[in-house]
């Protein structure tokens, strides 16, 4: 059994491609509920099925490292914001959050706290500055503009994952305006959070 102190966050990762073999896929599928299996079969393409299944299998296997519950016995409820949480039959002291992106699924877990996690592909193409101007706080947009062009995609993803993780930890999904708060990056220090008073959006 893994030890999870109250002041620690443990992050576990898995690769959906690991389910490409029939044996691995069948072992993961045996862990999920009938409802989840029905959702799984609705995906038309194999890569999407593997991402879905890898995410569900990962959270069950991870939680079973911290509580004496078999991986296939975990049951979850969905909050009004679409966030899965452990039902009363599990260990209510454990809190988790999930994210996935092509090639990677992530599960973050804490005890007696709230947690949010997000995963994005740094190499994904996109109009990063235009998206930042639409969604980010003014201080973040200004900081992004100061970076050389090759550095902007990575910093954009750092902002995006921090913002989404924060919202998910609050249980609010993307219902709160993401330009109302900002993360500041100082060399040699962890990013720090502040409410951005410069936003004119409502």
Can you say how many angstroms the Cα of residue 50 is from the centroid of all Cα atoms in its chain?
17
Helices (H), 64-151: 128-135, 138-145
Q: How confident is the model at residue 3 (pLDDT cuts 50, 70, 90)?
A: very high
The length of the chain, given as a count of residues: 202
Which domains does the chain carry? 10-111 (3.90.470.20), 128-195 (3.90.470.20)
**pLDDT tens digits, 66-110:** 999 999 999 998 887 778 889 877 787 899 999 999 999 999 999
Relative to beta strand 84-86, strand 76-78 is: antiparallel
pLDDT of residue 129: 87
Query: Crossing angle for the helix pair 152-169 and 138-145, nearest 10 degrees?
Result: 160
**pLDDT tens digits, 149-201:** 989 999 999 999 999 898 888 876 555 678 888 998 888 778 888 775 554 44
Q: What global pTM score does this model have? A: 0.84
pLDDT of residue 93: 87
pLDDT of residue 171: 75
pLDDT of residue 38: 97
**pLDDT tens digits, 127-141:** 788 889 988 999 999
């Amino acid at each position: 059994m893994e030890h999870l102190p109250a002041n620690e966050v443990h992050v576990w990762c898995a690769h959906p491609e690991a389910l490409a073999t029939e044996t691995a896929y069948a072992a993961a599928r045996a862990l999920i509920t009938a409802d989840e299996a029905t959702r799984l079969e609705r995906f038309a393409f194999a890569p999407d099925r593997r991402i879905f299944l890898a995410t569900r299998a990962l959270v069950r296997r991870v939680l079973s490292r911290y509580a004496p519950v078999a991986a296939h016995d975990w049951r979850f409820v969905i909050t009004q914001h679409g966030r899965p949480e452990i039902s009363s039959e599990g260990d209510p002291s454990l809190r988790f959050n999930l994210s996935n992106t092509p090639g990677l699924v992530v599960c973050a877990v804490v005890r007696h706290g709230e947690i949010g996690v997000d995963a994005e592909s740094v190499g994904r193409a996109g109009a990063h500055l235009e998206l930042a101007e639409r969604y980010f706080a003014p201080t973040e947009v200004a900081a992004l503009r100061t970076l050389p062009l090759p550095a902007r995609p990575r910093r954009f993803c750092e902002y995006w994952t921090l913002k989404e993780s924060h919202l998910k930890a609050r249980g609010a999904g993307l219902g709160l305006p993401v330009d109302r708060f900002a993360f500041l990056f100082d060399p040699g220090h962890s990013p720090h959070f502040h409410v951005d008073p410069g936003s004119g959006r409502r």
